[in-house]
Structure 1
Amino acid sequence: MSIPTQVNEAIQTHYARSDLGSVILAALEKAGKDVDRLTLEDLAPVDEFHIRGRAATLELARAAGLDATKRVLDVGSGVGGTSRCLAKEFGCRVTGIDLTEEYCGAAAVLTAKIGLADLVDYRQGDATNLPFDDASFDVVWTEHVAMNIPDKSRLYREMHRVLKPGGTLAIYDILAGPSGPVLFPVPWARTPETSFLVRPDELRTLLEAAGFMVTSWSDTTDAARAWFVSLAEKIRKEGLPPLGFHVLLGADFQAMAQNQRRNLEEGRIVLAQVIANKWAPPDPGAQPTPTSGRS
Structure 2
Amino acid sequence: MTDLLDGVRDHYRATGLIERLKAPLAALGPEERPLAPEQLSGLDQFHTRGLAATTELAKLAGITGDMRVLDVGSGLGGPARFLAAAHGCRVTGVDLSESFVEAARYLTGRTGQSGQVSFEAASALELPFDDASFDVALLQHVAMNIADRARLYREIRRVLKPGGRFATYDVVLRDGEPHYPLPWARTPATSLLLTAEATREAIEPAGFQTLIWHDDTETAKAWFAELRASGPPSSPNLGVVMGPEFAQLAANLGRSLMEGRLGILTAVFEAATVR
Q: TM-score, normalised by structure 1?
A: 0.89
Displacement after TM superposition at 1:260 (Å): 1.3
Cα-Cα RMSD: 1.5
Displacement after TM superposition at 1:84 (Å): 0.1
* Number of the residue aligned with 2:245: 252
Is the counterpart of residue 229 in structure 1 residue 225 in structure 2?
A: yes
Q: d(CA) in 2 for partners of 1:273 and 1:34?
A: 38
Displacement after TM superposition at 1:261 (Å): 1.6
Q: d(CA) in 1 for partners of 2:32 and 2:194?
A: 42
Displacement after TM superposition at 1:22 (Å): 2.1
Provide, for residues 125-179 of structure 1, a one-character-per-residue CA deviation record: whole Å limited to 9, x for no partner. 00011111111111111110001011101000000111111111011111111x2
Structure 1 moving runs of 4+ over 2 Å: 31-37, 229-234
For 1:1-295, list aligned pairs within 5 A: 4-29=1-26, 31-37=27-33, 38-177=35-174, 179-234=175-230, 237-238=231-232, 241-281=234-274
- Asked if the contact 2:42–2:235 (Cα under 8 Å) also holds between the matched residues in 1, the reply is no
Q: d(CA) in 2 for partners of 1:260 and 1:143?
A: 15
Q: Which has the larger radius of gyration?
A: 1
- Asked if the contact 2:96–2:123 (Cα under 8 Å) also holds between the matched residues in 1, the reply is yes
Q: d(CA) in 2 for partners of 1:87 and 1:97?
A: 15
Q: TM-score, normalised by structure 2?
A: 0.96
Displacement after TM superposition at 1:33 (Å): 4.0
Q: Secondary structure at the match of 1:277?
A: strand
Q: d(CA) in 1 for partners of 2:182 and 2:53?
A: 19
Displacement after TM superposition at 1:13 (Å): 1.1
Unaligned 5+ residue runs, structure 1? 282-295
Q: d(CA) in 1 for partners of 2:140 and 2:28?
A: 29
Q: d(CA) in 1 for partners of 2:132 and 2:102?
A: 26
- Asked if the contact 1:33–1:42 (Cα under 8 Å) also holds between the matched residues in 2, the reply is no
Q: Identity of counterpart residues, as a percentage? A: 44
Displacement after TM superposition at 1:276 (Å): 0.2
Matched positions, count: 274
Q: d(CA) in 2 for partners of 1:218 and 1:167?
A: 19
Q: d(CA) in 1 for partners of 2:225 and 2:12?
A: 23
Q: d(CA) in 2 for partners of 1:198 and 1:246?
A: 27
Displacement after TM superposition at 1:213 (Å): 0.4
